[in-house]
Structure formats: C-alpha cells, structure tokens
Amino acid sequence: MLSVLAIPAFNDNYLWLIHDGEHAAVVDPGDAAPVLAALETHSLSLVAILLTHHHADHVGGVQSLLRRFNVQVFGPRNEPIAGVTQALEEGDIADLPELGLSLSVLDVPGHTRGHIAYFAPQQRWLFCGDTLFAGGCGRLFEGTPAQMAHSLAKLAALPDPTEIYCAHEYTLANLRFAHEVEPDNAALTARIRVEQAKRERGEPTIPSTIGLEKSTNPFLRYREPAIRQRLIAEGRMATGQEAIVGFAALREWKNTYR
Ligand code: ZN
Ligand code: FE
C-alpha cells in the first residue's frame, strides 16, 4: 500500500515522499535536511529521487541525499541538472521496482523549458512541480503562454479524480485572484471557504484534483465566456481575440496582482 507524505520546506514548498512504509521516493527535494528527518522519523530508506525541473528549490538537496543514498535520479532530458541518472521525456516511464510503482512522464514546458510531470495511472497521482498549482499555474520563466496553456490542457485531460501534488502552497493567494477574475463562480466561492478552513487548521490544501481545478482554476477556464468578458471589461483583451490572448492576459494580470 503506497501513500504520499508532504514534507514542508522553505516558506511554502512541499517535497513529496512516496512510500510503502519501508522504501521511499522523494519528488523535488529542494532541501535535504527535512527529507532526511522524514526518512528517519518514518524508518524509510530512500530508493529514488524524481525531479520536475531545474530550479534550486526543487533540486537543491540532491547532492547531499546522494552522499547518503546511492539511488537513481530521474529528471527532465531537456534541462541540465547535476546528478540525473535517468533523463526522461514524454512517453518514458520512471520505474520504481522497490515501490512497485511506474510513473509515466509528460512534457509540460512553460514554467521552464524542459519541465516534466510524473503521473501514476493506477493511483491517479500527478506530480507536476511548478506547472499546475491549486487554483493557479507557474510563472512563465522560460516558456511562452501557448506552451503553458498546452501543458495545462494535457494535465486537464487526465481523469477528474487525479490527485494533484504540486510543489507550492500558493492556494489561497491563487484563489483570491481567481475570485477577482470570476466572481460569480459558485464552485470557486465554495472552494475558497474550504481551503481557508484547511489553512486555519494548519493543514495543506494539497492535493487538489483535476476535477476541482477544472471548475475553479482560471488558467484552465480562460475560454469561459465569463472570464473573457472580465478580461475585456478590464481592457486586457479585445472582443474576438483568440483564446490564447486571454490566457496570456490572465498570466500577466496575476504577475502584478496583490
Ligand atoms: Zn520553479
Ligand atoms: Fe518552485
């Protein structure tokens, strides 16, 4: 029986530990110390490291973990990351025999050029780094709006119950922006109450699900007439412009939204 454990790190990162009570794989270990502490606490031995992209808050702990554990390091083929032993791209499988787990790899460029995501089809778990967030999406550091929109559409096509293990607790800020964009979305208003209550209890809002994101995340909903109307009213796009213009306008707006 596999489960996923959240390891909080830095201000708002989650490092994910997939384990069976004995073996563990860690996703995006930006820092080694909290991973080592969690392995110790739960008496787990590390069998693999999975990386989604090259940013320091996702890979910073790899070298110290490798000094303690001689394990495979899975990572994106199109990004140079020290320590990667298995360079992956869409269509590849990350095989973790100790855990009896096979993850399929999706190319999801946009936040970075070579960003990948890992999907466990049986468990319906998605590890998507800084691509799809609960209520939002990653900033476009190396990719275009069209690339990010295409990557998000790929993730949105996964089954609705798929659990989304993204890398940051940005949910409340994302949903505040979502509400600005789509104030009449009842599912969104209901979600804001639920997620606020989780934070007040000190709980993570992650995992989210694909179904929940499709009903509340503006970056998956930019084709909705209500969102287009809002962007037009704000002077951020014009009537009749292509959907991708709306997506780009949303991302721009979010960048400066406080
Ligand atoms: Zn990042
Ligand atoms: Fe990050």
| Strand partners for 209 | 163
Q: Write down the pLDDT at residue 159.
A: 98
User: For 235-257, what is the mean pLDDT?
Assistant: 98
**Annotated active-site positions, please?**
53, 55, 57-58, 111, 130, 168
Burial profile 71-100: b = 16 or more Cβ within 10 angstroms, e = fewer: bebbbbebbebeebebbbeeebebebeebe
Within a domain: residue 51? Answer: yes
Ligand 2 centroid distance, CA of 57 (Å): 6
Which ligand is closest in space to the CA of residue 10?
2
User: For 104-119, what is the mean pLDDT?
Assistant: 98
Within a domain: residue 249? Answer: no
Within a domain: residue 65? Answer: yes
Q: Which domain holds residue 155?
A: 3-216
CA distance 83 to 72: 9
Within a domain: residue 227? Answer: no
Within a domain: residue 26? Answer: yes
Q: Write down the pLDDT at residue 178.
A: 98
Within a domain: residue 159? Answer: yes
Which ligand is closest in space to the CA of residue 112?
1
Phi, psi angle pair for 232, to nearest 5°: -70, -45
Within a domain: residue 221? Answer: no
Ligand 1 centroid distance, CA of 11 (Å): 14
Phi, psi angle pair for 244, to nearest 5°: -65, -25
pLDDT band (50, 70, 90) for residue 147: very high
Ligand 2 centroid distance, CA of 238 (Å): 33
Q: Return the CATH number at 80.
A: 3.60.15.10
Query: Across all residues in the chain, what is the average pLDDT?
Result: 98
Ligand 2 centroid distance, CA of 52 (Å): 10
CA distance 149 to 131: 10
Q: Provide, rounded to the nearest whole percent, the portion of the chain with pLDDT above 70.
A: 100
Q: How far is CA 224 from CA 79, 110, 167, 247, in A?
A: 34, 22, 27, 11
Ligand 1 centroid distance, CA of 209 (Å): 21
Within a domain: residue 117? Answer: yes
DSSP string covering 176-228: HHHHHH-TT-HHHHHHHHHHHHHHHTT-----EEHHHHHHH-GGG-TTSHHHH
Which ligand is closest in space to the CA of residue 27?
2
Q: How far is CA 221 from CA 14, 135, 186, 212, in A?
A: 25, 11, 14, 12
Domains contained in the chain, number: 1
